[in-house]
Amino acid sequence: MNSSSSTMSFVLSQKGKPLLVMDDYVFRLNKITNTTKYYRCENRDCTATAHTDLNNVLLKVNANHSHVIEPEKKEIRIFKQIVKERATKESTPIPKIYEEESTKNDFKILDYCYFTVSKRDDSLNKARRLETPPIPDSQIFGIPYLYTRTIENEEFLCVDKFIKRKTRILLFASNEQLKVLFQNSIVLMDGTFSTCPKIFDQVFTIHSIKYEQCKIYLMNKRNIYIYIFQSFFHIAFICGIGLLPDRKKSTYRFVFEELKGLAVRMNLVFSPSTIITDFEHSLADAIISEFPSSNQYGCYFHFTEAVYRQIQHLGLSSGYCSDGSFHNRLNLRVAKHHPNIWILIRCIQGEEIRFNHVLIQMIGGLTCRTKTAATNAIQQRIDTLYLRYQNNEITVDELLLGLSYVVAKNTSAKRKK
């Protein structure tokens, strides 16, 4: 990056000290008084100096350098500073961060990077460790203040309680997320396990669905309902992410009671009319106990997973491809199975930022993303199958067989291409 003769900027040294950059020469901070900061050229044999006030306004400069200019050094420092900042704030593997930032720079400049790969990784790993609290090996640990707040420094850890002596529940949600959750009537709940730290059992997510109508299909006389919704990316707002110690009914009831208490403190009520879940019995039982007037439905995504498992068991289909939407995105962001608690919380903080962005866009009139022709064709086939079933034109077995052709993908055909 080239600068003119009048430009002045600041970068950080490897030890986090400010460096003054002027005309592509680098000055180190030498002394600070009550009124002035004194800088001198980083080349010890050079007598060039610069003075600024405490607000970094240039007061005086002696630019008689005794050596040639080396603009590459400034670029290298900026490159290192960006990589180090990302390494301390993200969970992305350090080699991947380095490669991503390298592609943004001129490789001729990077030729001047004198440190070896091992030295680079060691220094960045050390910087990451200094910024990361010790990794706990049980649910009994302290959470630093920064990990209890949003990136915008608002309250975020809304529930942190022990339901037993060594059994803990954490729930992250901003006030805006809770408001959206309590003010809407359709709620989706689900759990994921691969992104959960080993000291907990599951990551439990609560979503609120807006801006699009959903379809309900009556499966049989026992009132088993399947709830179908589309365009998950735009209409399902993540309103809370919890870390739960188990999958017991009592644990889910504890979470719901805490949410009800939070709603009361906000002068709101948490009583959704529609709750969509997977087919976990303990969660379903807890919902019946805590929300007896709510309608509970099974999520179509989980239904098709269950259908396919049975279809595969019966040998009716041999290929399947699915997308867990939010959980799939969370898995990609975490980039590893069973991350440590601090990596996961950073990702949860990032999801809160995404929530705000999507909410603002939707309030501003952004519509749900347009469905593709393929999506509409699949939806029409599903509608037709259920209509035939409701009209007693096909049996349950025929319905499941028909759905197998909708939910299953011919992966072998793709491999041949």
Tell me the C-alpha distance between 168 and 158, whole Å: 13
Query: With b meaning 16 or more CB within 10 Å and e meaning fewer, what string describes 7-38?
Result: ebeebeeeeeeebbbbbbbbbebeeeeeeebb
Tell me the C-alpha distance between 153 and 243, whole Å: 21
Q: How far apart are the first and last CA of the chain?
A: 45
417 pLDDT tier (thresholds 50, 70, 90): very low
378 pLDDT tier (thresholds 50, 70, 90): confident
Domains of the chain, by residue range, sit at 8-62, 74-131, 145-368
SS3 assignment, position 177: helix
- Predicted confidence at residue 328, as pLDDT, reads 62
Find the mean pLDDT for residues 107-119.
52
- Predicted confidence at residue 169, as pLDDT, reads 97
Find the mean pLDDT for residues 126-138.
81
- Structure token pair of residue 106: 């001129």
Tell me the C-alpha distance between 331 and 319, whole Å: 22
C-beta separation of 151 from 352 below 8 A:
yes
pLDDT at residue 300 greater than cutoff 50:
yes
- Predicted confidence at residue 220, as pLDDT, reads 44
Find the mean pLDDT for residues 294-321.
55
Which CATH fold topology does 8-62 show?
N-terminal domain of TfIIb (2.20.25)
pLDDT at residue 228 greater than cutoff 50:
no
Tell me the C-alpha distance between 295 and 287, whole Å: 9
Query: With b meaning 16 or more CB within 10 Å and e meaning fewer, what string describes 234-243?
Result: bbbbbbbbbb
Burial label, 104 (beta-carbon count in 10 A; 0-12, 13-18, 19+): exposed
Read off the pLDDT of residues 163-190 as tens digits, 9 standing for 90 and up: 988 899 999 999 999 999 999 988 989 8
Higher pLDDT, 107 or 22: 22
pTM (predicted TM-score): 0.64
- Structure token pair of residue 362: 């939707």
Burial label, 305 (beta-carbon count in 10 A; 0-12, 13-18, 19+): middle
Higher pLDDT, 308 or 237: 237
Higher pLDDT, 110 or 221: 110
